[in-house]
């Protein structure tokens, strides 16, 4: 049997700020909500969300014989998480200013799994970082890390929403599981809903992907959606607006793990630099970051749309 305290010590040693452990069980209540969201078409053209629904709500379908899910979180807040200068048209979500978290977290999780397997030779399991249809935010709630806020993100008492999640699904039980997080601490605050530039939070915990700036600047959405009405608000990759306005984030500490030190400051890269950049320079400067996923052509298209909106606003003022 695995030891709860030992797992948490390994998580801290690997560089995680938070760790919780929950039984691997079906999440039937989440399935009904998710299917209704799909039926309403809120996922837009993100068709991959319709696949593997049977696995999404039951960790044992991803790892045969699964008994426990270890949910780990690391804070990533940096100075860009607090916002950009007014009028900035080259905004990048703060998590993307660092090395690609998929690579970083996967390495941290694999080090934990290897250590656990040395101590427990019969243990098998898998590490997940956005790499499978796993309800990581819901599992984080079950593991006691926080609650789901109105912007549909995990909110932790210690680090707000500025956390990145990774999971180990393991085939052995632990001596103790953490109790689920009880309650929601958003109170009457609606900052995230009211601050969204495109009204993508159509109701508490319901996101319309077709309106979401993060989806529109990163995901391979159809051109009709990519040209959806609404100013991208200066964002060329991702969006932090529903997070930077959150009171829990405003009091959250800066990241502690040096693996999440920013590699560049988007506010210091003017539009002309992006427009003059070639693929080779782009890969050299941003190849280790999440920006590589969107690619230079997509980012430049996002920037040009921002500049057009900026010019339109200037014409309206005249």
**Biggest CA pair distance of the chain:** 72
Strand boundaries in 208-269, DSSP class E: 235-237
For 255, the 3-state DSSP assignment is coil
Q: What CA–CA distance (Å, rounded) separates 199 from 177?
A: 38
Residues 164 and 72: their CA atoms lie apart, in Å, by 8
Cα(198)–Cα(136) distance, rounded to whole angstroms? 26
Q: Which tokens go with 9?
A: 């010590």
Q: How far apart are CA 203 and CA 183, in angstroms?
A: 19
Say which of 28, 100, 130, 208 is annotated catalytic.
Answer: 130
The two three-digit tokens of residue 202, written as one number? 């159509």
CA geometry: angle 54, 184, 82, nearest 5 deg: 95
206 close to 42: Cβ distance less than 8 angstroms: yes
Residue 316 bears catalytic tag: no
Where in the sequence numbering do the catalytic residues fall? 130
């Amino acid at each position: 049997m695995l030891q709860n305290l030992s797992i948490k010590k390994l998580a801290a040693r690997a560089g995680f700020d938070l760790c919780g452990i929950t039984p691997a069980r079906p999440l039937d209540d989440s399935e009904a909500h998710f299917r209704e969201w799909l039926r309403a078409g809120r996922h837009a053209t993100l068709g991959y969300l319709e696949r593997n629904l049977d696995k999404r709500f039951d960790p044992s379908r991803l790892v045969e014989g699964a008994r426990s899910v270890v949910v780990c979180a690391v804070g990533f807040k940096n100075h860009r998480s607090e916002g950009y200068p007014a009028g900035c048209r080259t905004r990048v979500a703060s998590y993307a200013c660092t090395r690609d978290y998929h690579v970083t977290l996967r390495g941290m999780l694999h080090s934990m799994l290897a250590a656990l397997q040395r101590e427990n030779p019969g243990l098998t399991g898998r590490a997940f970082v956005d790499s499978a249809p796993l309800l990581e935010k819901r599992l984080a709630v079950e593991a006691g890390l926080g609650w789901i806020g109105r912007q549909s993100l995990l909110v932790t008492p210690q680090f707000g929403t500025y956390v990145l999640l990774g999971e180990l699904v393991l085939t052995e039980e632990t001596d103790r599981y953490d109790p689920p997080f009880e309650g929601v601490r958003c109170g009457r605050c609606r900052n995230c809903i009211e601050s969204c530039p495109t009204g993508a939070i159509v109701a508490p915990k319901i996101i319309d992907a077709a309106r979401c700036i993060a989806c529109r600047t990163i995901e391979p959405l159809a051109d009709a959606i990519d040209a959806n009405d609404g100013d991208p608000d200066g964002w060329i990759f991702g969006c932090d607006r529903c997070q930077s306005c959150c009171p829990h984030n405003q009091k959250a500490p800066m990241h502690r793990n040096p693996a999440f030190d920013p590699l560049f400051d988007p506010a210091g890269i003017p539009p002309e630099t992006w427009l003059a950049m070639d693929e080779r320079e782009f890969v050299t400067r941003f190849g280790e970051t999440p920006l590589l996923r969107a690619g230079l052509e997509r980012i430049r298209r996002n920037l040009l749309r921002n500049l057009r909106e900026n010019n339109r606003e200037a014409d309206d003022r005249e």
